[in-house]
Structure 1
Amino acid sequence: MKSGVFGLRYGEVLLVHLTESGPEATVYNTFGLNDCPAQLWDELDATVIAAEAGAVAAILNGPRYWLMSGIGKADRESMQRKTFGGLEMNRQATVQLASMNPAAYTENRVDRKAVFTFDAGRPVYELVDPDDRRWIMQTYSQTVDPTLGLDDLAGLADRLSLPSGWRYETRVPSSAIVVDTTTRPASVLQDDLANSYSLTD
């Protein structure tokens, strides 16, 4: 388990390939290698990256900031590593995309084999869907709004274009929230500001 993750900055490159079951993205990110320095991230060219990788598309996903306190992941030392525009990244997950351009509030399945722990006593930010399932924000993003910061998250209910029957809530849990997807795919979605959420148990 890597602790002290809260607030750390990172960036991701998703390499998209077409499979029999639909578009699939291999996710590489800078976590644990560097803090996604802006001077390198801003120079990345998705078209060039896709061509070099033989992918149908490359998606630049970031910069982002973790909101959990700790991340547990097996075999971190043996991860496949690539360099994109001078940024070293590790292969972290495979995502079955709902489409080539997934809409906000659409569930995607992520094979990440990880445990995310959100400590008690620290605010968490959640979407609640019409079935009362809770989706906890795992990262906030500056992809859509480059100025979005931690202090803005409590007020997002007024900014998000939530689907009918959805709501956005902030609460302070009295016990740790653990999202364990080591043995099953994670269910992940994004809001219309590109913040990412995991379905909790």
Structure 2
Amino acid sequence: MTKLYKLIPSLLILIAELANSQPIFEKSVSNLRDQRYCEILYGKRHWLNLEVKVFNTQGLNLCPEDQWKTITKEEVAKKYDASFVDLNGPRYWMMDEIQAAGATANNVKESFGGIEMNLRATVDIGLLKQILGSKSYSPNQINRTTNFIYKAGSPIYELVAPDGQVYVMQSYSQIVNPNLTMKDLPNLAKELKLPTGWVYRSTLLEKDLSLVANGIAYVLQDNLANSYQRR
């Protein structure tokens, strides 16, 4: 029994190391910066929770505008018997490379209005979020295993929260402002309605930046629907 007690600390350390270990990424796609994509999110309420599936066009197509604009929420809701649908696009990636592992590196595909999309993540939305609705500058928990890589020499755009948490832009959106392009991002603060204490800034990377989500990513949007992941 004494030997067993001596082993317990070592076992706890091993468990902690396994929990914090980096995932082995199985898929990778590069040259993404400023590449167009679209997403469709849908889900059905289960008791007090809403599980939302996130499909996007990455690696399959560039979300043709003539097809994208024909898709309706009503059509998706009917097809999948969904109580929640969001048409999230067009968007443009801001990282240079994405690596994926685990359930994120899957081959689950659906076709929406003739546009093929791959299942990329799931989002669990609690009752409070459902009642209050989506809020800008409020992080959501996204279930995915990814590594977003931003290359040295490239600019990144960040939101800094009052508590010091830093969120890096993963994509900019043309949902609210259809004319927004990458060249507008250095001066985007002029268009943002930043809550008190929040800061928008740009940084030129001196070395590669990796944002690893080992099962969970914390993602928020600004008032223009641009998306940011927590560092």
* Other-structure match for 2:224: 193
* Other-structure match for 1:93: 121
* Other-structure match for 2:158: 126
Amino acid at match of 1:84: F
Q: Distance in 2 between matches of 1:173 and 1:77?
A: 28
Where has structure 1 moved over 6 Å in runs of 4 or more?
none
Query: Is the partner of 2:77 in helix, strand or coil?
Result: helix
Amino acid at match of 2:227: S
Taking structure 2 as the reference length, the TM-score comes to 0.82
Deviation at 1:21, TM superposition (A): 5.5
**Residues 94, 112 of structure 1: 8 Å contact kept:** yes
* Other-structure match for 1:4: 31
Q: 1:103-122 to 2 correspondence within 5 Å?
A: 103-122=135-154
* Other-structure match for 1:30: 57
Deviation at 1:51, TM superposition (A): 1.4
Deviation at 1:175, TM superposition (A): 1.1
Q: Distance in 2 between matches of 1:115 and 1:21?
A: 31
Of 79, 89, 94, 1:62 maps to 89
Query: Is the partner of 2:82 in helix, strand or coil?
Result: coil
**Residues 38, 63 of structure 2: 8 Å contact kept:** yes
Deviation at 1:77, TM superposition (A): 6.7
Of 148, 151, 155, 2:180 maps to 148
**Residues 218, 229 of structure 2: 8 Å contact kept:** yes
Taking structure 1 as the reference length, the TM-score comes to 0.94
In structure 2, stretches of 5+ residues that fail to align are 1-27
Instruction: Spell out, residue by residue over 1:72-109, the C-alpha distance to the aligned partner (whole angstroms, 9 max, x if none).
Output: 01367742100000000000000123624311011100
Structure having the higher helix fraction is 2
- RMSD over equivalenced CA pairs, Å: 1.4
- 1:17 corresponds to 2:44: yes
In structure 1, stretches of 5+ residues that fail to align are none
